[in-house]
Structure 1
């Protein structure tokens, strides 16, 4: 077989993870934000260009596209393509506001693909719901929610004239997808009594709280709800973060005990970028809510302390992940016989 350059379909998660750091947590490090923010944004645009151009070339190959679309779980990865582009647009607006018109054009195209993706999500959820035990459903299905809410956030910046009905419809559809996805994940583990936390708990399950965080950010960006609602929603997301990450810590301990540090938790996998994104998204949700003057001041001091601590969590996790990626996959693509490289 002729050697071909290939890319993992989930590679847009790299853009999501790096982008959400530049959008939110970087502000906790003023020196980095002030002196390196624009340069890092240019690097993100270049990385995004490489990732998306490779994805486009790969999509045009029939022997990739058809099997990919036929998989009712893995095809939800397309949500990362849309969310990655949305985050990239937000970062470009933040550091290069003069590119407003260009970002608007990108967002219009991204919105078109979002609606196509949402239709495909309805079809896939029906397939999964008809035979829930047939597929090992995991957190990747919640990228349906992430994609929908990510575009709403960009709309709030670029197209404030978008009807509230349209905005609430998309946000609500994202929440419906979230509920369906969590139910299917629960059914997957309930129907498999032999499942192991060490082997069967997916990295992407952290999107269980990440999808809630981006929904909260979308709602805060639209400013359609009451301050009490946002407070309750933030507390709900906080509980979800604590719950899921407690499971993640238990899983990490078990994997280290079974395989050692390197193989247990310090071996690169593309799905690990989802954790960086979810950590960064919870920071961004908390930051935006904290900065809005008309929201309840309840827990203001707690949020102040939390943001200062969580920023280091986001940065440390990102540095570790970049290190793992660099060690495992440099250069970004490798020649192979069809194995995923990124």
Structure 2
């Protein structure tokens, strides 16, 4: 995405922070009791990634891809969501550093406001020519960023007016419907192929709904019936989208072999880890809240345990690909 000769870090690297952070927030507790040490390492990794992003953003030509292709600008949403997830990890595991959260929240709010107005401008450009640009699931980060901000601020200040919280969550839902319509227009064309045109970021179709559910449960502004209905709807979307992913993986392996088909690292793959972890977090918080306990509690409890293993295995797999890719690129550079 960056056309300068010196590429420090991919602008989508905020997805790494999102994916690892939501695992620590949710599924980590299924396997471990304490998380302070690993959360400290996560904080350090986040600091490194964001410092690299800031440094690169000051380079000449960094913003060129964002201006030339409106779809690219939506990766900024991963920066917003990454900082929001970081704040939740600090709240949960790093009590002595909780004073940092207010500063993070303030900076993240300014970033989200900038991103929101950029989204509105670029949505207009996309609707003017919806089939011209290669639209994919990254545009759903518009919803993710707003809902992550709602969760962050309501945890900081539980006294925020219910009307304001409900309005912001609803705004995120409206953006989700807008993005879904754009994706429908994009894939309505029968000439696309699942192996080449279905992207990793399309899994945010269920991830954006999961974080909407988490925002609803965390704030308590919607009824139990509505939230339970949303949970089942997200599960259905997840099964459909990930079913397509399995088909895509099978066809890619058949066409390209195991290495190029499913064992090659790309930063967009972290979006899948984030969406898996987000559905776990949504379910976990829902089950912890007596307000949202339903007749499906036993099934959801069983599913949560099973899904925890899926989240953990997927994250380990992605970490292996990431480390191997980093080692390989370092080796080739030194050679």
- With normalisation by structure 1, the TM-score equals 0.93
Contact 2:269–2:318 (Cα < 8 Å) also in 1 = yes
Partner Cα distance (1:21, 1:334) in 2:
30
Aligned residue among 75, 78, 81 for 1:80: 78
For structure 1, list consecutive stretches of 5 or more residues without a partner in the other structure. 337-342
Deviation at 1:260, TM superposition (A): 1.3
Task: Give the gaps of 5 or more residues in structure 2.
Answer: none
CA distance in 2, matches of 1:23, 1:332: 31
RMSD over equivalenced CA pairs, Å: 1.9
Give how far 1:141 is off: 0.2
How has the CA–CA distance of structure 1 residues 201 and 107 changed in structure 2, closer, same or farther, with 3 Å as cutoff? same
Deviations 1:17-68 (A, max 9, x none): 0000000001111xx332xx11111111111111100111111123112332
Q: How many residues align?
A: 331
Check the 8 A contact 1:6/1:333 in 2, yes or no: no
The worse-fitting range, judged by mean Cα deviation, of 308-317 and 114-123 is: 114-123
1:64 aligns with 2:62: yes
Q: Give the deviation of 1:190 after TM superposition.
A: 1.2
1:251 paired to 2:248: yes
The 1-side partners of 2:331 and 2:90 are apart by 29
Which of 207, 210, 229 is residue 207 of structure 2 equivalent to?
210
Per-residue Cα deviation, 1:88-108 (whole angstroms, up to 9, x for no partner): 110011001232322112111
Question: Higher mean Cα deviation, 158-167 or 182-191?
Answer: 158-167
Q: Which range moves more in the overlay, 291-300 or 47-56?
A: 291-300
Which stretch shows the higher mean deviation, 149-158 or 91-100?
91-100
Asked if the contact 1:139–1:206 (Cα under 8 Å) also holds between the matched residues in 2, the reply is yes
1:4 aligns with 2:6: yes
Aligned equivalents of 1:131, 1:254: Cα separation in 2: 30
What SS does the aligned partner of 1:63 have? coil
Given that 1:140 and 1:205 are in contact with CA atoms closer than 8 Å, whether structure 2 keeps it comes out as yes
* TM-score, structure 2 as length reference: 0.94
Runs of 4+ in 1 over 3 A off after TM superposition: 1-5, 330-336
Q: Is the 8 Å Cα contact of residues 25 and 281 (structure 2) preserved in structure 1?
A: yes
Deviation per residue, 1:198-242 (Å, 9 max, x gap): 111000000000000000000111101111111111111111111
Cα contact 1:5–1:333 (8 A) shared by 2: no
Secondary structure (helix, strand or coil) at the match of 2:125 reads helix
Aligned residue among 258, 275, 280 for 1:278:
275
CA distance in 1, matches of 2:181, 2:7: 37
Would you say the 8 A contact 2:8–2:52 is kept in 1? Answer: yes
Task: Determine if contact 2:228/2:294 at 8 Å carries over to the other structure.
Answer: no
Counterparts in 2 of 1:16-27, with a 5 A limit? 16-27=18-29
Give 1:87-166 correspondences, 5 Å limit: 87-166=85-164
* Alpha-carbon distance in 1 for matches of 2:80, 2:50: 10
The structure 2 residue matched to 1:268, chosen from 265, 268, 276, is 265
Displacement of 1:3 after TM fit?
6.5
Looking at structure 1, the residues matched to 299 and 71 of structure 2 have their Cα atoms a distance apart, in angstroms, of 38
Distance 1:168 1:100 in 2: 26
